[in-house]
Amino acid sequence: MRIALVHKRYDRLGGAEGDCYELSRRLAARGHDVRVVAGECRVDVPAGVRVHRVPVVRAGQIAKLLSFALRAPRVWRALDADAVIGFGRTVGHDLFRASGGCHRRFLEHRVAEEGGAARLRWVRPYQRALLAIERRQYAPGGYRAILTVSVHTRDEILATYPRVPPGDVAVVRYGVDVERFHPGRRAEDGAAVRRELGIPSEQPVVLCVGTGFRRKGVDHLLALWAEEPPAGAALIVAGNDQQLAAYRRRARELRGPVVFTGPRADVERLYAAADAFTLPSMFDAFGMVVLEALASGLPVVAARDIGAAEVLTGPLGELLVDEPSDHAALRARLLGALDPGRRVALGQAARAIAEQASIERSVDEIERWCGVVAAEKRRG
């Protein structure tokens, strides 16, 4: 099949970006003719993949958003693809990979978290443009099927956009590369990363990975480390944020060791250096990094209200926190994850969950959906 994947940015960093990249690479390896329609490309293009650039207007945030939304369909229609998978901010693709959940719900979460100041976001032209595109994405004719990444997000879509028939929304969770993310990396990569970051080999390490630190709950973690680091642990935060320099300055003032690494292409090495992972996020359609941590054999302390919480069962379910702003509860869960007496059992449970969520299973399911779309087009 000829399969087109549409994303504003072709990259490996980020949940939706990583999903698009891995899907393109693995579908091409299976012999499909894979085309990526993107506004910009930040990675080496894998074998068997061709990138088609969308001529995006870069004179301002709104112009960039709207020009991609309007021009991307012209590019993918010229490809005569059997199936077109859109990852957001475009309308009219065959399969809408709803990786990020509802932007409307995200704004509602911000208002609940921050109060009146966040309401101003609703009236900003850029946010209004995003919401307008989202309404069209979920309107009749905006898609053939919606593939979302969690039951949690499916329910949010149906509640927010009641005109969407429930049968149009299927759950196809992210998958994880269980070879790239593996507990076996701990001995070599983990020790090297600790030396690189100046963290003693015997000191516990908690890792957080994500972009947009406020949304990911990093402020709650810094509040804990300002009081007393749980179990004397070091905190590593990997990823990017517009206020990264300010966060680094805050880290230098805390009682416990806190390291902001910035974006890392070798994030699997950071997992190898950690003893526990945390994502106290206020909003996440899923949280791909949770699967990466599980595959690396790490216990995960996460917010109960994110999509990835659905896979945290058994003893790992005991580490979920109802409200990340409840710092006492967050500290208690982190102490539980760092408990030396539970470390082996939690690590085995984590790895077992990840092995049931391999990326090949996810690709299998999306490949099947592409076949369904292609058959419909041939009939239609």
* CATH classification at residue 114: 3.40.50.2000
**Taking a C-beta distance cutoff of 8 angstroms, is the pair 18, 99 a contact?**
no
**Are residues 276 and 308 both part of a single domain?**
yes
Q: How far is Cα 255 from Cα 232, in angstroms, rounded to an integer?
A: 10
pTM of the prediction? 0.90
- Same domain? For 122 and 157 the reply is yes
Q: What is the pLDDT of residue 119?
A: 62
| pLDDT value of position 9 | 94
Q: Are residues 170 and 211 in the same domain?
A: no
What is the sign of the dihedral through the CA atoms of 327, 328, 334 and 335?
A: positive
Q: Which residues of the chain have pLDDT under 70?
A: 114-123
168 with 268, same domain?
Answer: no
In this prediction, residue 56 carries a pLDDT of: 95
Residues 371 and 125: their CA atoms lie apart, in Å, by 39
Candidates 34, 32, 78; CA nearest to 55 is 78
DSSP code per residue over 189-241: IIHHHHHHHT--TTS-EEEEE-SSHHHHTHHHHHHHHHH--GGG-EEEEES--
Would you state the pLDDT for residue 219? Answer: 96
- Asked whether 364 and 32 are in contact (CB, 8 A), the reply is no
CA-closest candidate to residue 129, choices 107, 109, 145, 146: 107
Name the residue with tokens 């391999």. Answer: 358
Residue 380 to residue 155: CA distance in whole angstroms:
30
Tell whether 216 and 158 lie within a shared domain.
no
Q: Which domain holds residue 189?
A: 183-355
> Within this chain, do residues 242 and 320 fall inside the same structural domain, yes or no?
yes
List, edge to edge, every strand of the sheet that includes 83-86.
49-53, 33-41, 2-10, 83-86, 95-98, 145-148, 169-171
Confidence at residue 222, expressed as pLDDT on a 0 to 100 scale = 97
Closest CA to 355 of 168, 183, 156, 239: 183
Structure tokens at 129: 């443009």
Q: What angle do CA 249, 254, 255 make, to 5 degrees?
A: 155
153 and 214, same domain (yes or no): no
- Cα–Cα distances (Å) from 121 to 8, 104, 112, 128, 251, in that order, read 22, 11, 13, 9, 28
Same domain, 365 and 345: no
* Shared-domain flag, residues 72 and 86: yes
One-letter amino acid of 242? Q
Q: Are residues 293 and 370 in the same domain?
A: no
Residues 11, 126: one domain?
Answer: yes
As a whole number of Å, the end-to-end CA separation of the chain is 17
Same domain membership, residue 19 and residue 133: yes
- Cα(111)–Cα(122) distance, integer angstroms: 10
**Virtual CA dihedral for 96, 101, 102, 106, nearest 10 degrees?**
-160
Task: Tell me how many domains the chain contains.
Answer: 2
